[in-house]
Structure 1
């Protein structure tokens, strides 16, 4: 049988990027060289997509005034989200949830208009357009970590407001504002875990055999507790 595996050093690099990727909220200004940004977007564009629909669209936002307008949209939703959290409102408001004004680059990601014509893989699961675009974002995220750049996915916004600001056509749908750029340090653990907002679930609690809820024999009981 042909061994299609990468050399071990390259395998370790892939797993390192996965484990050390963080949703960054603190940025160090600076810039992202155009050739690096092109590489990152190329990585995103090589993501898998259901029916090869390639539903992702990226808008690079460099205008300072537009950034401030988007920041205001996020801030309004931040307040509304905090209120919806009830007893955790104050705790949430202490979290830094975005870096739109600090990051070197800001990319808006939208689902393309005309997605309804893509029936392959979407007839019963129309949300596969979002799943496909999320794969593109993850590709970009992992490539950014390998390049030493931080990235944060901001989803606290009213889609209609963002659509209007960015001039999206009817049928297009914004799903992310991506803050991208140099950072002083990468968090040793996910920020929300560090801030005690939530913890990573043990993998053994999320993998089943044969049917929902049946523990997988991949994870013996003695090894069910995973490191943070």
Structure 2
């Protein structure tokens, strides 16, 4: 079960809340980009970034010189992931909506100091974006790791909210001669585009080609 705190209790549209931890994992594992909310010099900042999950820990990375990552250390942060699944077109402007899946996590971010965990976190981020890619490429060397900060956020305090299904109109509006329904939205990968400097004879690997 997910935590129930003042920050994770869904009040608006409470019936859309999901309380199973598996729902949290499903939303996170299906995503590619999260939004990390931090305070930088007292001003709120939201940073879109790649992420990866291992168990109940979410990993993000960035430059060791990034002010936003330095500001996150030891301070409360918020991470969100959202999937837009469709436009919900109602008979009235007021009842238009969207079908979506969203997750929000709060916690104290920590810098990952352990070398093995840093590599595991980076692997999780790469594999989140392209499963199978970590084993196919050169591993980061020491200088690259020295320039890379990896943050870990525990998923102890999180909430999930989902909307699915058709529009919900006022009862008196159902007889109006207006089309209503859902316009589904899906994301699809295009065909892989080779690097112009790719050496001759290198074909698209299976773990990439099957996504095109």
Normalising by the residue count of structure 2, what TM-score does the alignment of the two structures yield? 0.25
Give the strand-richer structure, 1 or 2.
2
Give the helix-richer structure, 1 or 2.
1
Return the index of the structure with the highest Cα Rg.
2
Question: Structure with the greater relative contact order (CA < 8 A, sep ≥ 6): 1 or 2?
Answer: 1
Normalising by the residue count of structure 1, what TM-score does the alignment of the two structures yield? 0.24
